[in-house]
Amino acid sequence: MSEIFTGNFTQQEPIPEEGIEAAVAVMRHGRIHRYNLSKGEEGEAALLEQEFAAQIGAKYVLAVASGGAAMTTALRAAGVRPGDKVLSNAFTLAPVPGAIAAVGAVPVYVGVAEDLTIDLDDLEAKAGEASYLLLSHMRGHICDMDRLMAICDAAGIKVIEDCAHTMGAAWNGVPSGRFGIAGCYSCQTYKHVNSGEGGFLVTDDADLAARAIILSGSYMLYERHLAAPPPEAFEKVKYETPNISSRMDNLRAAILRPQLRQLDVNVDRWNDRYRTLEAGLDGTPGLTLIQRPEKERFVGSSFQFLLLDWAPARVKEVVERCLARGVELKWFGEPEPKGFTSRYDSWRYAPSEPMHKTDRILAGIVDMRVPLTFSVEDCQLIARIIRAEVGAVYQAA
């Protein structure tokens, strides 16, 4: 009889008790708005920013309402204006081009390589087309950041990193989000810390940080931030920067603080599960695993493999057969957007030219969440199911 997996691919671990207690305390005193503080109180949001700044090694941190808000705020604070072109990954999720469109700018898509990172050859070819790159470390895959920064520095391109899938990751010992002028992180439920929604913007640039804090809706209360530039950094920008109200509140911050303290431990737990899946699928005929570079410290909160050059009907059959056995896979070759999954040619507010090399790779990407509610034994079972169903379809071709 065929094995069946009965786990839930969207079930996250509970919020730590410390976070629940802190959240209840916020609800009891009622000061949920980040600037609604009692005398001498620093506030959960300000403390969260201070703690993340120390953890990530950044001078300045701003907590906002979502990862998308972090990217939009970073772009606007960095000087991106309506009509500007912004380079970005063709392989990403909709909030990334959405952030570019939200400031009236125009995405210029850069292709994807077979290791699922941005195609650095294509980036080099397009480097003269824009002054900004919104780099998505899509699904936790980090490119050769040394080469990427060399390309961008040579072309005068300012880099903003989308680290929604790489909080806790690093390249050659440098934390993800610390290469460009700003890094943006998500605290949405399926990310590495969970407040339902939420995000961070990190930077060492005092002017960018001051503009971002005003943009987020600080009014003239910016001195209540603990991970902000000094007051003089705000003197000019406070008069010319609009308020777009995208603050994080004290309730979400209270939930997040203990999770950040557990992040390094959870990275190791995710990677144990990722390596288990990888070992279980190694050598499967027709299936290509993604090679992880030695310089990359990744977070295996999701897992991808390629069915390169398979007919669409066969890939779809693999997905359906696995689902029948309880394993939920997402396929980036779907012709229409589905759930969270969409492609660069789906975002018609930002017209694009066909990218044949990228289309070939997107057509073969199969994607799966790996929540920490799965055990290592669960991952062994999942790998057996995928291996069997890929093998069955491959042999029948």
Q: How far apart are CA 218 and CA 243, in angstroms?
A: 8
Residue 90: Cβ-neighbour burial (10 angstroms; 0-12, 13-18, 19+): buried
pLDDT score of 160: 98
pLDDT at residue 1 in the model:
55
Looking from the CA of 121 toward its CB, the CA atoms found within 13 Å total: 5
At residue 351, the pLDDT reads 81
What residues contact 120, with CB distance under 8 A and at least 6 apart? 113, 143, 144, 147, 148, 151
Tell me the one-letter amino acid at 143. C
pLDDT tens column, 63-109: 999 999 999 999 999 999 999 999 999 999 999 999 999 999 999 99
Per the structure block, which two tokens stand in for 305? 């493999």
Which CATH architecture group holds 263-396? Alpha-Beta Complex (3.90)
**Domain limits of the chain?**
17-261, 263-396
Q: Going along the chain, which residue ranges are E strands?
A: 60-64, 85-89, 106-110, 132-136, 158-162, 170-171, 174-175, 182-186, 199-203, 288-289, 296-297, 302-306, 330-331, 365-369
CATH no. for 17-261: 3.40.640.10
What is the spatial distance between Cα 4 and Cα 14, in angstroms, rounded to a whole number?
Answer: 25
Cα separation, 396 vs 393, in Å, equals 5
What per-residue confidence (pLDDT) applies to 2? 87
Residues of the chain predicted below pLDDT 50: none
d(CA 171, CA 206): 24
